[in-house]
Structure 1
Amino acid sequence: MEKELVAYVAQALVDNPEAVEVAVIEGEKSTILELRVAPDDIGKVIGKHGRIAKSLRTILSAASTKSGKRVVLEILD
């Protein structure tokens, strides 16, 4: 569920939605989501002073409270 949420929001933010990729790495107590976008769109996903990235992480933590696992979002370039 979290993977689809991140992909949906990222695709809405970028100019090249086809290049959005979200990889999931499952751990015992946490899940890592690795977000990749086109090099030109990385700034749109991070935002000024990291505001959009922080908002994405806040949404993720709220969405993951049901599962009881901690979800970490990494934005890769």
Structure 2
Amino acid sequence: MMKDLILYMAQSLVDDPGAVQVRQIEGTHSVIIKLAVAPDDMGKVIGKQGKIAKAMRTLLAVTAAREGKRATLEIQS
């Protein structure tokens, strides 16, 4: 569910939704979500002063907390 949430948000923000890739690495009490987008779309995903990225991380943290886990979002180009 967390992977799908990040994928949906990222594809909605970027110009090239086909280039969006999301990987999920699960631990016992944590999840790492790795988001990769096209280099031209990095600014759209991060936003001014990181506001978009912070909002995505906040939503991810809430979703993870419901499952009793901690989540980290890593954004890569």
Normalization by structure 2: what TM-score?
0.96
Query: For the residues of structure 2 that align with 1:66 and 1:55, how far apart are their CA atoms?
Result: 17
Question: Residue 28 of structure 1: SS of its match in structure 2?
Answer: coil
2:72 aligned partner: 72
Give the unaligned 5+ runs of structure 1: none
Which residue matches 1:63?
63
Write the deviation string for residues 30-56 of structure 1: whole angstroms up to 9, x where unpaired. Answer: 100000001100110000110000000
Aligned mates of 2:55, 2:20 — CA distance in 1: 18
The root-mean-square deviation of aligned C-alpha atoms, in Å, is: 0.7
List 4+ stretches of structure 1 deviating above 3 A: none
1:14-29 → structure 2 map (5 Å cutoff): 14-29=14-29
Runs of 5+ consecutive residues of structure 2 not aligned to the other structure = none
Per-residue deviation, 1:13: 0.2
* Cα distance in 1 between the residues matched to 2:14 and 2:74: 17
**Which residue identity does 2:58 align to in structure 1?**
T
Give the share of equivalent positions with the same residue, in percent: 56
AA partner of residue 35 (structure 2): L
TM-score by length of structure 1 reads 0.96
Q: Deviations over 1:4-26 (max 9, x none)?
A: 00000000000000000000111
Distance 1:42 1:33 in 2: 16
